[in-house]
Amino acid sequence: MSLRRSATLVLAFLFAACAPPPAVPSAAPTATATAQPTAAVTAAPATANPAVTVPTIPAAVAVEIPVKGAALLVLDITTAICTPRPPCVTSVPKIAALIKKARDAKVPVIYSETTTAGASILPEVAPQAGEPSVKSSADKFFNTNLDQLLKDRAVENAVVVGSASNGAVLYTAFGLNLRGYTAVVAVDGISANVDWPTNFVEWQLLNQPGFTNAENKPLDKQHVTLSTTDKITFK
| Residue 169 contacts residue 88 (beta carbons within 8 Å) | no
Segment 96-102 shows an average pLDDT of 99
| pLDDT of the residue at 52 | 74
Dump pLDDT digits (tens) for 152-189.
Answer: 999 999 999 999 999 999 999 999 999 999 999 999 99
Residue 150 has φ and ψ, to the nearest 5°, of -70, -40
Q: What is the pTM of this model?
A: 0.78
What CA–CA distance (Å, rounded) separates 77 from 113?
Answer: 7
Residue 218 confidence (pLDDT) above 80: yes
| pLDDT of the residue at 11 | 41
| pLDDT of the residue at 88 | 98
| Residue 160 contacts residue 139 (beta carbons within 8 Å) | no
With helix as H, strand as E and coil as C, how does the chain read? CCHHHHHHHHHHHHHHHHCCCCCCCCCCCCCCCCCCCCCCCCCCCCCCCCCCCCCCCCCCCCEEECCCCEEEEEECCECCCCCCCHHHHHHHHHHHHHHHHHHHCCCCEEEEECCCCCCCECHHHCCCCCCCEEECCCCCCCCCCHHHHHHHCCCCEEEEEEECHHHHHHHHHHHHHHCCCEEEEEEEEEECCCCHHHHHHHHHHHEECCEECCCCCCCCCCCEEEECHHHEEEC
Half-sphere exposure of 220 (CA within 13 A, CB side): 18
Half-sphere exposure of 215 (CA within 13 A, CB side): 3
Residue 19 confidence (pLDDT) above 90: no
**Residue 164: is the preceding peptide bond cis (ω within 30°)?**
yes
Domain extents in the chain: 63-234
- CA dihedral sign of residues 14, 15, 16, 17: positive
What CA–CA distance (Å, rounded) separates 207 from 214?
Answer: 6
Provide the β-strand partners of residue 72: 109, 159
Residue 42 confidence (pLDDT) above 70: no
Segment 88-115 shows an average pLDDT of 98
State the pLDDT confidence band at 1, using cuts at 50, 70 and 90: very low
Dump pLDDT digits (tens) for 52-81.
Answer: 787 899 999 999 999 999 999 999 999 999
| pLDDT of the residue at 46 | 54
CATH T-level fold of 63-234: Rossmann fold (3.40.50)
Name the nearest CA neighbour of 116 among 138, 101, 99. 138
Looking at per-residue pLDDT, the higher value among 1 and 215 belongs to: 215
Segment 115-122 shows an average pLDDT of 90
Name the nearest CA neighbour of 170 among 193, 197, 210. 197
Residue 125 has φ and ψ, to the nearest 5°, of -125, 20
